[in-house]
A and B are shown apart, each in its own frame.
Chain A
Amino acid sequence: NAGVTQTPKFQVLKTGQSMTLQCAQDMNHEYMSWYRQDPGMGLRLIHYSVGAGITDQGEVPNGYNVSRSTTEDFPLRLLSAAPSQTSVYFCATWGQGGRHGYFGPGTRLTVT
């Protein structure tokens, strides 16, 4: 049982490049979400999903795309990277009725 895994751990992109941050969970959790953490700020919700085929926007969705074709995976796509997207990205999951949630180890992204 690996819990929540995120790949890659680190990534450097040039402005305008696209990439996908991967999040996978093996706990059969229905709810998955993406947060970004910037220095001196709390985590902010980007997108979330309440189940396969269902996604919705969080607080800061611009510049990001998500899809949820399976229960296990919830990839986050950066369409055209900008320096403002330099951040640490966390994936989190909750089971139905779950209280505490599980966070992945994060992906540190730098956009130059």
Chain B
Amino acid sequence: KQEVTQIPAALSVPEGENLVLNCSFTDSAIYNLQWFRQDPGKGLTSLLLIQSSQREQTSGRLNASLDKSSGRSTLYIAASQPGDSATYLCASRMDSSYKLIFGSGTRLLVRP
């Protein structure tokens, strides 16, 4: 059974710092890996999705990588801003069925 883990649970950084959020998974036979952002009291917003055949995806200041052999994905945020403060969740899909297996998230605070 796939298990997805995110460490640390919380992270506080000063504005402008580059940072990396980690996501690990136990079953490397994933269909894809997705990163979401969740703001307090809100739903989830999809940030990046990496198919199993891909190594990374980029969107603006965000870059997500995938290493299936080691069971790891990272979300790199460049030049962090206070507006990046949110909880970041990763989720794996094991097939085309849209059933996601989530990590517990990393709560990020970017201090001005």
Contact = CB atoms under 8 A, between A and B. Distances in A.
A2 to B, nearest CB: 13
Contacts, number: 53
The SS class assigned to the A binding surface is strand
A101 to B, nearest CB: 6
A106 B99 contact: no
Interface stretch (B11-19, B38-46, B67-75): B38-46
Interface string B13-53: 00000000000000000001010100001111110010000
Contacts of A103: 36, 43-45
Given A105-B42, A106-B43, A99 B102 contact: no
Contacts of B49: 99-100
A31 B98 CA distance: 8
A89 to B, nearest CB: 11
Interface band, chain A: 20 to 34
Contacts of B100: 35, 43, 45, 101
A42 B4 contact: yes
A10 B27 CA distance: 36
A25 interface: no
The SS class assigned to the B binding surface is strand
A94 B91 CA distance: 15
Nearest to B49: A99
B104 A100 contact: no
Contact of A40 (B4, B9, B99): B9
Contacts of B102: 35, 42-44
A33 B104 contact: no
Given A44-B102, A92-B44, A103-B45, 4 more contacts: A101-B100, A103-B43, A103-B44, A105-B42
Interface of A: 4, 31, 33, 35, 40-45, 48, 50, 58, 90, 92, 94, 99-101, 103-106
